[in-house]
Amino acid sequence: MSTTIDQAGAYTLGNRTVRRLGYGAMQLAGPNAFGPPKDAVVARAVLREALELGVNHIDTSDFYGPHDTNQLIREALHPYRDELVIVTKVSARRGADGSWLPAFSAPELEQAVHDNLRNLGLDTLEVVNLRAMFDPYKPAEGSLEPQLATLAELRQRGLIRHIGLSNVTPRQLEEAQRIMPIACVQNMYNLVHRNDDAMIDALARRGIPYVPFFPLGGFSPLQSDALSAVAAQLGATPMQVAIAWLLQRSPNILLIPGTSSPVHLRENLAAAQLVLPKDALAQLDAIATPAA
């Protein structure tokens, strides 16, 4: 398979068109996205190669490191290509032990926006995702209206163009859509974890992108006998099959698989050329079912 992503298709994110297969920068930081990268030279090379292979959508956050990942992006890619869309997220901070802590107040959100602007070397952030932090590790109910109001004010000041959501429930999405246009939703979703099937379909009907985080399982890579069997049948890696499944799942899914390895980067992007036949899709669809 070719390593180009020209056939991955495109979709609208905010008011920009991005290729459906992008890049997530989380793994450029240290373990659990905490601390500096093991090899900053390789990290910058991965970012440059991603763009050379056609990526024009990078997902990041200033709490990766913290600060390290955004600084690497600036060092490697600034001044940015006109077609590149950088999406970031706010509302968390890191404890001294690397723990994920809420940073949900208006001053904290404003500081996070300024930190992202400074470390990325930007005057305006294209898309900022508000990550719900009622539970740092999974969606949990709670109103996002105060936080959205803060981001809306920063948008009026020209610091943000579009606002998205992350780690949210369907109820929080509905609340947010009553307050303002939502550019995208970024929740955990992959071949095994499919709680958001109904949300993906509802967003597709409205033309809103859904951006799965941990599309390959994150810090615990996906493992399944069925996945491995399909990969062997198709002459692909299990991760390539998992990416191809997501691309075929719905046209509004934008993918941001992350890696700090040039080899894995090329493998991930090559998955855009992999078309899963019906029998393979049937095997993969049987791996997990949506939560009740």
Active-site amino acid positions: 64
Q: Is 192 helix (H, G, I), strand (E, B) or coil?
A: coil
In whole angstroms, give the CA distance from residue 135 to residue 143: 13
| Alpha helix ranges (H) inside the chain | 40-52, 68-77, 106-120, 145-156, 170-179, 197-206, 225-234, 238-249, 262-270, 278-285
Question: CA 125 → CA 55, 107, 129, 171, 278, distances in Å?
Answer: 18, 18, 10, 26, 41
Query: For residue 147, what are its two tokens?
Result: 């936080």
Contacts of 24 (CB under 8 A, 6+ apart): 58, 59, 60, 213, 256, 257, 258
Residue for token pair 């078309």: 275
- Cα torsion through 187, 152, 58, 100, rounded to 10: -50
